[in-house]
């Protein structure tokens, strides 16, 4: 049987997508992750706006693909041994059509302008999906926290905030954590902001609960990923209970994701870090998970130590996607699941991939997953629980009030259910098969686009 020929609208869309992406590529050389993120959105949004002239005339997608501003600054700090170090800090303020810029800070040696532009672009769509009034931003530095003492981390955070202070504010831009930035770093950053400005303000989220942090913020991203998968499986009259799960990473998102999968009755058999992954066929139960959290948050050790402690396999320098599973949860970093990994997952009978990390699946891997009938929860939907509870932290700070954890968890579950519903509405469901990536891209776009149209040419 011959393949169906593309329709003329599809052909036009394809050439329009190419034209659009060529322009973006010319304007953003040397930023492959940014181009990848824009491409993933454009392939769904360009055909969607083909019959909506207002979005084209107002050049909404082009405007969204050009950050409002990118700030770059030097961060000079002193190591314990007296050495002076210089790092590069950034804040990318992508879009504030629906609320103040909002998004995490990443401290990792790989950080550069293109990676933060991709993250800030994605954040705009993600924040829109939460239904909360949050614009999109991202920042960070090419600083490597590994092996640094608490005092060094504090000095770095103080130096970083001494510049960042000029660009943030409770109604302007509210950063939070991301890779390499957790409760400890947010505390030091907040302290320095207060010292420089004399103001006790909600200028960061993920703060400690004793100084304005929301309960459940540490749990929120990982729990939200599991809630998203629970909603997807419920939609297919299935459940997480009894499912074998592979999780990558062993930081904030990965560990709380494991905790919630366990409470749904799933069994997690892998975790990883940049050194490799552990495979524990007995499952990472509550006690073992508590051990991992202590290892990572207090002792700051390597996941390899888990294998020695619990007598299981550690596979050096590899990722966990060859281990058979029903559900895969990439929760470490971008482009950590490639085409070959996707083929392994499909051949081993995996049914769902849920992106806890931002853009962990390469474009070729996405093609494989979709063509093999694997449901893909894209990061902008699946990991939106973290920024959603950050939004709730901002509301609590504005009210000078704190909700209890049950209340916040209920709100988080409602927000994740709302995100699932938007994906189903826009993701062209055929029966129970939903294109979640398409649904998230279009639903996230529409709200921001309508606000931009309403606010005129600016």
Q: Which residues are catalytic?
A: 138
Minimum CB distance to ligand 2IT smaller for 328 or for 384? 384
The stretches of 237-300 forming alpha helices (DSSP H) are: 252-263, 286-294
The interface with ligand 2IT within residues 354-413 (CB under 6 A) comprises 358, 383, 386-387, 390
Q: Which of 158, 252, 435, 441 binds ligand NDP (CB under 6 A)?
A: 252
Four-residue CA torsion sign, 442, 134, 36, 323: negative
Decide which of ligand 2IT, ligand NDP, none touches 252; Cβ closer than 5 to 8 Å per partner kind. ligand NDP
- Strand-pairing partners, residue 76, are 86
Q: Would you count residue 178 as binding ligand 2IT (CB under 6 A)?
A: yes
Q: What is the Cα–Cα distance from 216 to 37, expressed in whole angstroms?
A: 29
- How many binding residues for ligand NDP (CB under 6 A)? 23
Residue showing the smallest CB distance to ligand 2IT in the complex: 104
Residue of 447, 377, 445, 386 lying closest to 415 (CA atoms): 386
Per residue in 342-363, is it b (16+ CB within 10 Å) or e — as a string?
bbbbbebebbbbbbbbbbbbbe
Tokens of 136: 């999109």
Nearer to ligand NDP by Cβ, of 204 and 331: the residue is 331
Asked if residue 109 binds ligand NDP (CB under 6 A), the reply is no
Do residues 220 and 388 lie in contact, with contact meaning Cβ atoms separated by under 8 Å?
yes
Nearer to ligand 2IT, 95 or 205 (CB): 205
Stretch that binds ligand 2IT, among 97-105, 147-155, 408-416, 442-450 (CB under 6 A): 97-105
> Binds 357, which of ligand NDP, ligand 2IT, none (CB < 5 to 8 A, cut-off by type)?
ligand NDP
Cβ of residue 457: shortest distance to ligand NDP, in angstroms? 32
Which option in ligand 2IT, ligand NDP, none does residue 281 bind, with CB closer than 5 to 8 A by kind? none
Q: Which is nearer to ligand NDP, 179 or 246 (CB)?
A: 179
How far does Cα 347 stand from its chain's mean position? 27
Q: What is the C-alpha separation between 248 and 327, in angstroms, rounded?
A: 12
Closest of 361, 355, 345, 373 to residue 430, by C-alpha: 373
Which residues lie below 8 Å from residue 184, measured CB to CB, with a gap of 6+?
150, 153
Q: How many residues does the chain have?
A: 458
> Among 99, 100, 104, 139, which residue interacts with ligand 2IT (rule: CB under 6 A)?
104
- If one counts every other C-beta atom within 10 angstroms of the C-beta of residue 383, the result is 28
- Both tokens of 295, joined, read 């290892």
Among 152, 219, 273, 393, binds ligand NDP (CB under 6 A): 273
Give the one entry of ligand NDP, ligand 2IT, none that residue 332 binds, where binding means its C-beta sits below a cut-off of 5 to 8 angstroms depending on kind: ligand NDP
Query: Closest distance between ligand NDP and the C-beta of residue 205, in Å?
Result: 9
Q: Decide whether 228 or 387 has the Cβ nearer to ligand 2IT.
A: 387
Q: What residues are paired with 86 via a beta bridge?
A: 76
Note the residues at the interface with ligand NDP (CB under 6 A).
Answer: 177-180, 182, 221, 249-254, 273-275, 331-333, 356-358, 383, 386
């Amino acid at each position: 049987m011959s393949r169906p020929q593309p329709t003329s609208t599809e052909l036009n869309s394809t050439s329009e997508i190419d034209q659009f992406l060529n322009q973006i590529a010319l304007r953003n050389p040397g930023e492959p992750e940014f181009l990848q993120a824009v491409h993933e959105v454009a392939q769904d949004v360009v055909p969607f706006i083909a019959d909506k002239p207002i979005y084209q005339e107002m050049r909404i997608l082009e405007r969204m693909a050009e950050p409002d501003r990118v700030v770059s600054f030097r961060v000079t700090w002193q190591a314990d041994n007296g050495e002076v170090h210089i790092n590069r800090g950034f804040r990318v303020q992508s879009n504030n059509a629906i609320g103040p810029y909002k998004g995490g800070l990443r401290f990792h040696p790989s950080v550069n302008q293109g990676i933060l532009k991709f993250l800030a672009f994605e954040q705009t769509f993600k924040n829109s999906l939460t239904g909360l009034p949050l614009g999109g931003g991202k920042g960070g530095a090419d600083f490597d926290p590994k092996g640094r003492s608490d005092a060094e981390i504090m000095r770095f955070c103080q130096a970083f905030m001494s510049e960042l202070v000029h660009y943030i504010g409770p109604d302007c831009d509210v950063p939070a954590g991301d890779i390499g930035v957790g409760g400890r770093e947010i505390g030091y950053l907040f302290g320095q902001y207060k010292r420089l400005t004399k103001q006790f303000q909600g200028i960061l989220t993920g703060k400690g609960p004793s100084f304005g942090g929301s309960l459940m913020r540490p749990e929120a991203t990982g729990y939200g990923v599991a809630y998203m998968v629970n909603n997807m499986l419920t939609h297919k009259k299935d459940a997480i209970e009894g499912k074998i799960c592979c999780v990558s990473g062993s930081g904030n998102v990965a560990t709380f994701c494991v905790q919630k999968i366990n409470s749904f009755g799933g069994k997690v058999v892998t975790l990883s870090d940049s050194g490799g992954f552990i495979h524990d066929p007995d499952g990472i139960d509550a006690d073992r998970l508590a051990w991992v959290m202590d290892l990572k948050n207090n002792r700051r050790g390597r996941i390899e130590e888990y294998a020695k402690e619990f007598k299981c396999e550690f596979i050096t320098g590899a990722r966990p996607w060859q281990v058979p599973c029903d559900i895969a949860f990439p929760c470490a970093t971008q482009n950590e699941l490639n085409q070959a990994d996707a083929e392994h997952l499909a051949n081993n009978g995996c049914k769902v991939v849920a992106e806890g990390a931002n853009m962990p699946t390469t474009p070729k891997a996405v093609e494989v997953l979709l063509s093999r009938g694997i449901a893909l929860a894209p990061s902008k939907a699946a990991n939106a629980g973290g920024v959603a509870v950050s939004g709730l932290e901002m509301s609590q700070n504005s009210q000078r009030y704190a909700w209890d954890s049950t209340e916040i968890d209920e709100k988080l579950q409602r927000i994740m259910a709302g995100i699932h519903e938007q994906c189903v509405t826009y993701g062209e469901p055929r029966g129970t098969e939903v294109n979640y990536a398409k649904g998230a891209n279009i639903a996230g776009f529409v709200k921001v686009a309508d606000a931009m149209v309403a606010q005129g040419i600016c």
